[in-house]
Chain A
Amino acid sequence: MLETDVLVIGAGPAGSMAAKHAAMGGAKVLLVDKKSEIGAPKRCAEGVSKDGLKRLGITPDPRWITTEINSVRLVSPNGTDVLLDEEKVKLSEVGYVLERKVFDKHIAMDAARAGAQIMVKTLATGIERTNNHLIVTLEHMEHPFQVQAKIVIGADGPESRVGRWAGLKTGAKPGTMESCAQFEMVGVDMKKSNCIELRFGSAAPGGYAWIFPKGDDVANVGLGVLTPRTDKTAYQHLLEFVDTCPATQKAQPVELNVGGDPVGGLYKDLVTDNVLITGDAAGMVNPLDGGGIISGMTGGLIAGEIAAKAISNGNYSKKNLKEYQKRCQKEIGDSFKKYLKAKEYLLSLSDEELDSIADAFQNSDFDRISPTDLVKMLVKVSPKAMLKLGKLF
C-alpha cells in the first residue's frame, strides 16, 4: 500500500495550490486527478481578477492568458447597457480571461516542482478510517489500489464526494447550484475586445449570461440558471440566448461545456478529523458572479499550509485543523455573505426593474457618483426595488 502524509483529491487550481503549499511546508504529498488531462475539459468562463492573482503570488504568464480585461458591460433584458471602465471605477472583475487547460497544468506543475507526486486518470472511490489514518481506495486506469494518508484534502469539485464520505454536510441543492452551459465560439461580434459582457434577466433565470472574450473574434458565451426557476435546461436557454444575442448572430461553436456551480456560499463545516475540503467542493464560489478560481486557490493555499503544519506537529485531529475553517471564513466566507444578499436582491428584480435601473445609469459618470447619489437614483428609478434592498441589509 502506498503511504503519504497528504493526499489531495482533485488537481484543479484549488487542489494544486493545496498540494504545492503542503509540499512547500515539508509534507509528503500525492495529488490525484480522475481526468487524463489536468484542466480539460473546462467547466468555467475562465475569468480571474488581477488583484486575486497578485494576492496569491502568481505572476501573469502569456502562456495561459488569452485576453486582458479592462471593462465590463452590464446589459439589461431590453438591451440597455451600462459600461463600467477600469479608468473610471474600481472593478473587481478586471483581470484576465485564461486558457484553463494551460493554467491548471501550470499550477499543477508548480505543485510538482514543490515536491508533490502527481497521478492523473486516478479516481477516488471511497475512504475508510483506521486508527489515526485514512485508507483511500482509488482506481488508476481501472486498476484499484489503496493509499494510506494522514490527511486527505478534498478538492474534487462541485460533484465532490470526499466531504460527505468523511461525514461533512457538503451537498448542494438545486436552489444553490447554478446549472451552467457554455459554448466557446468563433465569429463573435464584440463591441470592445477587452470587455466582458454580462446580460441579466429572464434569458438566464436565477443567474446571468456572459460573453468573455478570448482574443480576436473568439469568446466563451454561456449562462447559468437555477433550475427551480425555469422549466428549461441550461443548454436550451443557451441555444435561445445565442440565437437572439446580437453578438453571436454569425458565431459558430467550437466547444460545449456544461457543469454545476455551487453558489450558496461557503459550506459551514470544512474540516473533520484527518480531512479538509477546499475549492468548489467547499462552496468557495462567489455567490454573486459564480467565479471560483481565486477563492478556490485561496482556500487551497490555506489548506496546504494548515495540512503541512499538522503533519509537522503530528496532530491531524479536527480540533487541530480547525484553524483552516477560521481562516477560510475570514478570507473567503465573510465577503460571500454580502454577495449572497446582493444576489438575493438582484434576483428579486423583474425584467422591467432591471431595464429602469440600466436606463438610469446608462450615461452616468461613475467616478463622480457618491454612494448617497447612488441610493437616491435607485429610489427614483424604482422605489419598490429599493424597498427590497432595504429589507435585505
Chain B
Amino acid sequence: MYCGECAGVCPRNLIEVRELTLKFDEKECKDCKICIQVCPVQALEKEVI
C-alpha cells in the first residue's frame, strides 16, 4: 500500500518509500519504533530474532 508516513517521522531518515515497497537501512536503526507507532494500518512490526 502506498503511504510513507513512517519515512516522514523516522528521526534518522532511514526509510525509503518505493512505489510498492519500503526499504529500511536496518544497520543504522536505533529501534525507536516511531515508524511502528504511526503506521495507519499496522503494516510494520519489530522483527524478533
Q: Is A177 an interface residue (CB 8 A)?
A: yes
10 contacts between A and B (CB under 8 A): A34-B18, A159-B8, A171-B11, A173-B9, A173-B34, A174-B37, A179-B5, A227-B38, A258-B41, A260-B3
Residue numbers in B under 8 Å from A179 (CB-CB): 5, 38-40
A158-183 contacts to B, CB under 8 A, are 158-161, 164-165, 171-174, 177, 179-181
Q: Is A259 touching B41 in the complex (CB atoms < 8 A)? A: no
Give Cα distance in the complex from A173 to B16, angstroms: 17
Q: Give the interface size bracket for A toward B.
A: 20 to 34
Q: Which of the segments A35-43, A147-155, A290-298 contacts the partner chain? A: A35-43
Q: Is A260 touching B4 in the complex (CB atoms < 8 A)? A: yes
Q: Is A234 an interface residue (CB 8 A)?
A: yes
A-B CB contacts (within 8 Å), total count = 87
Give Cα distance in the complex from A210 to B15, angstroms: 29
B10-44 contacts to A, CB under 8 A, are 10-11, 13, 15-19, 34, 37-42
Which B residues lie at the A interface, using CB under 8 A? 1-11, 13, 15-19, 34, 37-42
Q: Is A260 touching B9 in the complex (CB atoms < 8 A)? A: yes
Cβ contacts A321-346/B at 8 Å (1 or 0 each): 00000000000000000000000000
Give Cα distance in the complex from A259 to B13, angstroms: 17
Q: Closest residue of chain B to A179, judged by CB?
A: B40
Residue numbers in B under 8 Å from A165 (CB-CB): 13
Q: Which of A159, A172, A233 makes the CB contact (< 8 A) with B15?
A: A159
Given contacts A181-B41, A235-B40, contact A159 B11 (CB under 8 A): no
Residue numbers in A under 8 Å from B11 (CB-CB): 171
Q: Is A262 an interface residue (CB 8 A)?
A: yes
Chain B nearest CB from A176 CB (Å) reads 9
Q: Is A125 an interface residue (CB 8 A)?
A: yes
